[in-house]
Structure 1
Amino acid sequence: MSSHTEEHPSRTGLRIVVDDLTGPDIVDLLATHLAEMHANSPAGSMHALDLTELREPGITFWSAREDDELLGCGALKGLDGTHGEIKSMRTAAGHTGRGVAAALLRHIVGEARARGYRRLSLETGAAPYYLPAQRLYTRHGFQVCPPFGEYTDDPHSVFMTLAL
């Protein structure tokens, strides 16, 4: 696992570091994330991980900070030796549209490549609420794909993948 810091060119103080998921700010951000996922996806179609699940082996979780302020987060889950999944991508309120999610996504893609993964995939919602996320992933080369891993066809989910 890499724990290097990434500097985003347009955000000179942005640091992306491995997070142990114990700080109150990250706990609050993830609670908000889960609440919004529940509010915008039917129960059986909501695949966001809680704190306990995000701490499981095989998942690396990063936070993006500027000075001491939490701006966003994201995680990489190893599915097998060649395939990873993006989980828990979230930008904190007040920081959307500032390049935080793009910097986190580039960081996770770079880590997946460093691990030797040949494919990086994700699941996001199909509701209008999720369109900004879908656009972000599309801008970074992800394409819609069939369900992967343990996912099944679901009209409330969009599956995307990127060949590395």
Structure 2
Amino acid sequence: MAIRPPLGWPRILGHMPSSSHPEVTASGRPIVEVAVGILIKPDQSILLGQRPEGKPYAGYWEFPGGKIEIGETLLQALQRELQEEINVSINDASEFLVIEHDYPHAYVRLHICLVSSWVGEPKGLENQALSWIFKKDIAKPSLEPILPATLPILEKLNAFLEVAK
């Protein structure tokens, strides 16, 4: 797993590569670009969703998000995915971290964004459960199981929030 250090807050959510040919790993696996949103309330609680049935790792907890389509910016993809999955529209977001993870079914590059302002009450539109995690529980959430790539994100987020106090 590759992790880039936190980029700071804010960072402009810019254009993604628009090639119809995705980047590949050294072993030739396509890299799937994914927009991920961490909804964070003023009290620093964050939202996790449970992956729905029919998807890889069904039942695992993760942050909402999904694949970035060709030609979309990171912000456009994040806006679309959060609207489709949890019925919220983003007012303010910034890129926080980029993590790569090698799953058996896909090699993903996760563009993690902090979403500090949105319109709408989060609701699982894919029949997935949603849960707010309090700041004190971010390092060790009680929800199980946690998607493997989500664990290092939680660690980095916890460290960032400690510094941002």
TM-score by length of 1: 0.29
Specify which structure has the bigger relative contact order, considering alpha-carbon pairs within 8 angstroms and separated by 6 or more residues. 2
Query: Between Structure 1 and Structure 2, which shows a larger proportion of helix residues?
Result: 1
